[in-house]
Amino acid sequence: MAFNTGAALLDALVLSVVNTESTYGYKITQDVRAVMDVSESTLYPVLRRLQKEGFLVTFDQEFAGRNRRYYQITPSGLTRLVQYRQEWKQYAQNINHILVGEEDA
Amino acid sequence: MTKAEFMAQLAQELNDLPQEDVQDALQYYTEYFEEAGPENEQQVIADLGGAHKVANIIRANMGLGAKTAEEQPKHERYGAQRAPYDYTHEAQAAAGAGASYYYSGSAAPRTAGAHAGQQPGDAPQYGTRQSNTWVWVLLAVVTAPVWLGLAGGLLGIVVGIFAAVLAMIVAGAGMIAAGVVALFGVFSLAHLTFASLCLYYGACAACIGVGMLLVMGFSKLLQLCIRAVGAIFHSLQRTWNGNRGVAA
């Protein structure tokens, strides 16, 4: 994609993916990479940081005879996500207004 | 490079991090390989960009620099040639720059505008205003010879007008004084004829009259000039305050 995508958007996408359902690192990476051009090695530090900031918690669950670490959104993570969504709507609206014109804005 | 080699190198490159962080990272990537399936091992390592790159990105986000280039295995250097997003981390890692790219004050410039706390519109406006100020300052400095000359010229004109007006008032006062002195006879008038006497007193009266006119007229003009200069200063001050009001 031609457009630059910042760290805040990546955080927002990860929170949103995890908010949909508690899920694991590999799946989160695939879901985010489906819409945003980030390298696979970028996701782990983001997850780790969101976890340290209290927006995500992890729990371990057995799957097919091995362990899977799931990420789950916290109440403060949800608050942050709601905030991100509002900011994104405003941002997208502003961009559309100039880039696409009135009909889509 | 095999999965085992990848994990070993990752552990080695992270060995100066807190144990808890190292274990967390190793568990994450162990699971990552398992989710991808053993048949995709090589693909995963290629997609991740190699253990060195993975370690550097983690280190950059922990506020640590990259391990030096001498420690970097040569066959791994292709790792940096991927998404533009990584360059932030790589650059930070290389520079040994501050903590997490997102919350620290020393965040990469590219992400600064997208900082969470700000309204989307704020940052660009601020930037424009800043750069405008700089442009004006630069312009003022560069054009200093021109506007300093102009300002000096204008000041000269104003001072000149004031001096002229004041001079006229002083001249008027002088004429009054001369008329009065002449009227009350410093000179001996005995030898003059009546007609000459009339002319003399007439001249004195005219002198006093013209002097009074000069003093009154130019005092009025002086008042107008002072008021005009005051008004100009006021409007300049208002413009200045107005500009500062916008900037603040």
CA atoms within 13 A on the CB side of B240: 6
- Rounded to the nearest angstrom, the minimum Cα separation between B2 and chain A is 17
CA neighbor of A27 nearest in space, from B172, B156, B35:
B35
Q: What are phi and psi of B192, to 5 degrees?
A: -80, 150
Residues B59-83: pLDDT tens digits? Answer: 888 777 666 544 444 444 444 444 4
Contact A10 B61 (CB under 8 A): no
- Rounded to the nearest angstrom, the minimum Cα separation between A73 and chain B is 18
Look up the ipTM and state it: 0.88
Contact A40 B47 (CB under 8 A): yes
pLDDT score, position B238: 84
Residues B128-149: pLDDT tens digits? Answer: 566 778 888 888 888 888 888 9
Contact B83 A37 (CB under 8 A): yes
Q: How long, in residues, is chain B?
A: 248
Contacts of B29 in chain A (CB under 8 A): 44
Is B81 touching A (CB cutoff 8 A)?
no
As to burial, measured by CB atoms within 10 angstroms (0-12 exposed, 13-18 middle, 19+ buried), residue B87 is middle
Extract the residue ranges of chain A whose pLDDT is less than 70. 1-2, 4, 102-105
Interface test with A, best of B7, B40, B57 (most A CBs within 10 A): B57
Extract the residue ranges of chain B whose pLDDT is less than 50. 69-127, 248
Contact B85 A5 (CB under 8 A): yes
Give the C-alpha separation, A22 to A14, whole Å: 11
Q: Which of B48, B114, B121 sits opposite A7 (nearest CB)?
A: B114
Contacts of A53 in chain B (CB under 8 A): 103
Q: What are phi and psi of A4, to 5 degrees?
A: -70, 140
For tokens 């008329």, name the residue.
B179
Give the C-alpha separation, A4 to B57, whole Å: 19
